[in-house]
Amino acid sequence: MKKFILIFYLIVNFCGCQNTTTKQIDFNKTSQEMSKKTKIKKIIKTETEWKVLLNEDEYRILREKGTEAPHTGIYNLHFENGTYNCAGCNSALFESSAKFDSNCGWPSFDKSIDGKISYSIDKSFGMLRTEIICSSCDGHLGHIFNDGPTQTGMRYCVNSLSLDFKKEKN
């Protein structure tokens, strides 16, 4: 019985992060408005150049839209003060003040740095989700859900491998 409860808990917990019932969020308009306000320098590289720059795991996540296994990423339970930059192009994406423990196995943020993230509809795996992408290098970061527990109501579910943490200088 205990084993059954554990399996049930794991399924619920996993589904919580791949929520199919969450209403689709229309970020395209917001994204375009923010891009106008914030001039984003586009980083364009060939796939060969990316393969040189990134390690195998980073390439799989950032360039091939992969997902790291839950609870394995180095930033999942990381709560130092600083900024989380894109692992592909170093663009600052999230402040540590926006990070919270969602218990879903991936680093979670309730807010991104203005204009640094783009949104795209993702219909893969029979789910309707909103993908989050680095506005600068178009690297895949993860997905966003509108079931966040904080005031913004948002949960940016991000792969650790898409991020590079820069500690705040004292």
> Which residues make up the interface to Zn ion (CB under 5 A)?
86, 88-89, 91, 134, 136-137, 139
Q: Enter the tokens of residue 141.
A: 């970061």
Q: Are 129 and 143 in contact (CB under 8 A)?
A: yes
Q: Decide: 166 and 96 in contact? Cβ < 8 Å.
A: no
CA nearest 98: which of 26, 42, 157? Answer: 157
- 17 vs 54, which CB is nearer to Zn ion? 54
Instruction: Kindly tell me which of 22 and 139 has the beta carbon lying closer to Zn ion.
Output: 139
Phi then psi for residue 80, to 5 deg, are -90, 160
Report, in Å, the least distance between residue 65 CB and Zn ion.
Answer: 14
Region for residue 70 given its phi and psi (left: phi exceeds 0; alpha: psi -120 to 50; beta: otherwise): beta
The answer to whether residue 134 is catalytic is: no
User: Is the Cβ of residue 19 or residue 89 nearer to Zn ion in the bound state?
Assistant: 89
